[in-house]
Amino acid sequence: MASEKAAIAENVQKYLGKSDWKSAIAEMEKLFAIDQDPIIRVRIGDARQKMNQKAEAVKEYIHAADLYAEKGFVVKALAQYKLALRLDPANKDAQGRIELLHTNKSVSELKLEPIEDGALEPTRSVIPLFSDFTQEEFNEFTKRMIIHTMPPGKAIIKEGDTGRSVFILTRGSVKVVATVMGKKVELAALQASDFFGEIAFLTGKPRTATVETTEESDVLEVAEEDLNEMIVKSPRIREVLHNYHEQRVKSTLEKVKDSL
């Protein structure tokens, strides 16, 4: 079985390298029959996009999202629903399933998302933030999100910048680097479901660190103006963000202390 999977995976890469999307999809379907990994549906969706088959790509991203949600990967599911909505903003199915994520066991029971093979446990999971939101606040927060795909080595935010957006990493990894007493200190390596950028929003001060991708990554963004509009409707959102941030300050201070 393992050798068969390896052979099919090799064929997939061969066809992708040739931009033979149709053949790559056929091989990926074989691979999915052996291993129902949601990422395979994501890659099929990507290939469908390359073939300008938008409707089929949307179905694949929703299929992948459903599989992630069943496994408890709330943030990964959210990202795939958002990819579907980026292609089809009026897709009520995707939006409705995003709203259902608020009742997912990972959120409602405040569980950390499962850890995939080879991945590190998130250091600052967004799940506690989601669990503190009401259903209405969760719906509003997620509707405002924009998904970005970033190449390796891309600075999402830079130390000293005045941006106020907040971000959730949904795929890939990033490093957080700050200047402490003239010395560059790596404060954290963030993984999928990690949340960052709220300090500048809460304090109104420039960014306190640089966050840079270490591999191709997907990131969800909520812009400052959207957050402010939400807070006008639901002032408690600022309190939720503040409480969430305070829970992490101690570990960051300890990291800085250890580096000096």
Query: Which parts of the chain are beta strand (E)?
Result: 146-150, 155-157, 166-171, 174-180, 183-190, 195-196, 210-213, 217-222
In this structure, the dihedral spanned by the alpha carbons of residues 81, 139, 130 and 161, taken in order and rounded to 10 degrees, is 80
Among residues 154, 167, 226, the alpha carbon closest in space to that of 194 is found at: 167
State how far the Cα of 221 lies from the Cα of 86, in Å rounded to an integer.
13
Query: Read out DSSP for 49-76?
Result: HHTT-HHHHHHHHHHHHHHHHHHT-HHH
Give tens-digit pLDDT for 187-210.
888 888 888 888 888 888 899 899
- pLDDT score for 50: 95
Could you tell me the residue ranges of all domains in the chain? 120-260
Is residue 255 pLDDT above 60, yes or no?
no
- pLDDT score for 123: 61
Inter-axis angle of helices 92-100 and 135-143, nearest 10: 130
Place 6 in a pLDDT band, splitting at 50, 70 and 90: very high
- pLDDT score for 129: 85
Strand order in the sheet with 217-222: 146-150, 217-222, 166-171, 195-196
How far apart, in Å, are the Cα atoms of 91 and each of 60, 83, 226?
13, 11, 21
Torsions phi, psi for 225 (to 5 deg): -65, -35
Token representation of residue 85: 């909505």
Inter-axis angle of helices 135-143 and 236-259, nearest 10: 70
Which one-letter DSSP state was computed for residue 78? H
Q: Domain 120-260 has what CATH class?
A: mainly beta
Weakest-pLDDT range from 77-91, 121-135, 246-260: 246-260
